[in-house]
Structure 1
Amino acid sequence: MDKGSIQCKNCGHHFDSNFCNQCGQKADTYRITWTEVLHHLPHALFHIDSGFFFTLKELATRPGHTIREYLEGRRKPHFSPFLMLVLLGGLTTILFVHFHLPTIFASIRLDQLEQEHSTIAHKYFALRMLVFVTVCSLGDSLFFRRQDYTFPEMFVANTFIFCGVSAIQLLSIPVMVMAKQSTAHMAISMGIIGLVMVYLVWSRVQFFNLNSGMYLLRIILAVLLYLAAVIAIGHFIIRPLFAVSTNLHS
Structure 2
Amino acid sequence: MKEVDNMGENHKPKRINLSYIIHELKHLLHLESGFLFTVKQLFIRPGKLVRTFISEDRSKATKPIIFLIFSATLFTIIFHYFHIKYEFFSLNQEIGGIDEFLEKKTISDWINNHIGYTSLFIGFFIALWVRLFFRKHRYNIYEITVLLCYSIGQGLLITSLFALFAVASKINAIASIGIFAGYLYIFWSIGQFFGEKKTANYAKSLMCCVLGAVSFRLVLILLAYTFYYIKMK
Scaled by the length of structure 2, what TM-score is found? 0.66
Number of the residue aligned with 1:226: 212
Unaligned runs of 5+ in 1: 1-9, 12-36, 109-119, 241-250
1:129 pairs with 2:115: no
- 1:190-215 deviations in Å (ceiling 9; x for gaps): x3343234312321232111633444
Match of 1:45 among 22, 25, 40: 25
2:192 corresponds to 1:206: yes
Deviations 1:75-96 (CA, angstroms, capped at 9, x unpaired): 1111111112111211221222
Q: Partners of 1:87 and 1:138 in 2: how far apart? A: 24
Q: Which structure dedicates a bigger proportion of its chain to helix?
A: 2
Q: Answer yes or no: is the 8 Å Cα contact 2:194–2:201 preserved in 1.
A: no
> Are the structure 2 counterparts of residues 216 and 153 from structure 1 closer, same or farther at C-alpha, using a change threshold of 3 Å?
same
Q: How many residues are aligned here?
A: 188
Cα distance in 2 for partners of 1:229, 1:172 equals: 28
Deviations along 1:152-207, one digit per CA (max 9) or x if unpaired, are: 11111111111211111211112443234xxx47xx52x33432343123212321
Cα RMSD, aligned residues only:
3.5
Fraction of identical pairs, as percent = 26
Structure 2: 5+ residue stretches without partners = 1-6, 9-17, 92-109, 225-233
| Residues 1:167 and 2:150 are matched in the alignment | no
Any conservation in 1 of the 2:130–2:205 contact (CA below 8 Å)? Answer: no
- For the pair 1:145 / 2:140, whether they are aligned, the reply is no
Report the secondary structure of 1:103's partner residue.
Answer: coil
What is the match of residue 96 of structure 1?
A: 79
* Contact preservation (8 Å) 2:131, 2:139: yes
Partner SS, residue 29 of structure 2: coil
Deviations 1:88-119 (A, max 9, x none): 211221222111122333369xxxxxxxxxxx
Secondary structure at the aligned position of 1:161 is classed as helix
From the CA coordinates, give the structure whose radius of gyration is larger: 1
- 1:165 aligned partner, one-letter code: G
Are 2:141 and 1:155 equivalent residues in the alignment?
Answer: no
Deviation digits for residues 104-150 of structure 1 (CA, Å, limit 9, x no counterpart): 33369xxxxxxxxxxx6996112211122112111101111111001
Write out per-residue CA displacement over residues 19-40 of structure 1, whole angstroms, 9 at most, x where no aligned residue. xxxxxxxxxxxxxxxxxx98x8
CA contact 1:161–1:200 (8 Å) conserved in 2: yes
The letter of the residue matching 2:178 is: I
Alpha-carbon distance in 2 for matches of 1:216, 1:97: 33
Relative to 1, partners in 2 of residues 1:233 and 1:170: Cα closer, same or farther, differing over 3 Å? farther
